[in-house]
Structure 1
Amino acid sequence: MSTSSSTSTAPEVLIEADPDVPTVRIVREFDAPRDLVFRAHVDPELVKQWLGPDSIGMEIDVWDMRTGGEYRYTATRDGAEVAHFYGAVHRVNENERIVQTFGFEEMPDAVSLDTLDFVELPGGRTRLEALSVVYDFESRAGMLASGMEVGVNEGYAALDRLLASLTQDRT
């Protein structure tokens, strides 16, 4: 499965499922410097402003994005808990890479190992390349069927708005 989405106002998001290996690859470019895109992934106050679909809120229990750290948060809709996520942070290279696990309590067998690479581009832009590896194709199918594409697209649109604000604050 390979999908991409594009509108006239949002950059294209590549979401690609390898037919031979249980992985999902997501690639997206941002009109912001690499350090800001990275910061938006590790600062819990910023993460709450963009991660996930528009209809979902976030309550963070733990957000320790450093090598050896961990995270746990609850997704909420209209004040009700709808999903619980957690992970271990295996490696953080400042402004370059995050390697973590990603677990969804409601699908305990679908834990992924995620690598996020923050690639500096000319003109103060950044490409985020994320690769998720899961145990089997069934787990990957569950990930893809969970509405991941909507969450990725809406979340990255919110991240664009946040990054624009942070970039403007620097000037």
Structure 2
Amino acid sequence: MTNALALTAPVDTLAMEFTRDFDAPVAALYRAHADPVLVKQWLGPHGLEMEITEWNFCNHGGYRYTHSNEHGTFGFNGTFHTVRSNEFILQTFEFEGAPDMANIEYLWFEDLGASRSRLRGRSICPTVEARDALLSSGMEGGMTEGYQKLDDLLRNLPA
């Protein structure tokens, strides 16, 4: 089953919001966001190699990774401010190619029952221009491809 990504940018806000359902238990979905070995297998669109150089998944921990392809290497970093197992992640996210433009990201993990779950997210950008630049950069397509890879990973993830 393919679940669609719903991505919106509410008018007169700095936010982008998304919802995506998964045919997997909430604990597996959360684990795929927490474990760097799993994150490396799904985060980002097809055709990118990912290297994680820091992944301290705990309250006030940090992360840094790069995505690489024939066009170059792109770095990303942030801080995990709050992590609550199987429930919530609050983090910052910064593309190193646009320094000083960190987003605040909220991720909620919802148990839908019957081994299904929902991921809801909200990303607050520093400016409307920064938000619109992300939206026009192909971010939605990259998220869609990443979540399709996550579907495959979750289908094959041992309990």
Q: Is TM > 0.5 for Structure 1 vs Structure 2?
A: yes
Equivalences for residues 79-118 of structure 1 within 5 A: 81-118=72-109
- Of 3, 7, 13 in structure 2, the residue corresponding to residue 21 of structure 1 is 13
> What is the deviation of 1:65?
1.2
Could you tell me which amino acid in structure 1 is paired with residue 59 of structure 2? Answer: T
The answer on 1:139 being equivalent to 2:130 is yes
- Structure-2 separation of matches of 1:82 and 1:149: 20
- For normalisation by structure 1, the TM-score amounts to 0.89
- Of 41, 46, 51 in structure 2, the residue corresponding to residue 54 of structure 1 is 46
- Structure-2 separation of matches of 1:63 and 1:75: 15
- For normalisation by structure 2, the TM-score amounts to 0.96
In the TM superposition, structure 1's runs of 4+ consecutive aligned residues that sit over 2 Å from their partners are: none
- Structure-1 separation of matches of 2:101 and 2:18: 17
- Of 136, 152, 158 in structure 1, the residue corresponding to residue 149 of structure 2 is 158
Partner of 2:139: 148
Pick 1 or 2: higher relative contact order, CA cutoff 8 A, min separation 6: 2
Structure 1 counterpart SS, 2:141: helix
What runs of 5+ residues in structure 1 fail to find an aligned partner? 1-8
Total equivalences in the alignment: 159
> What is the deviation of 1:54?
0.5
Q: CA RMSD in A?
A: 1.2
What runs of 5+ residues in structure 2 fail to find an aligned partner? none
- Structure-2 separation of matches of 1:15 and 1:110: 20
- Of 47, 51, 56 in structure 2, the residue corresponding to residue 64 of structure 1 is 56
Query: Contact between 1:110 and 1:143, CA under 8 Å: does it hold in 2?
Result: no
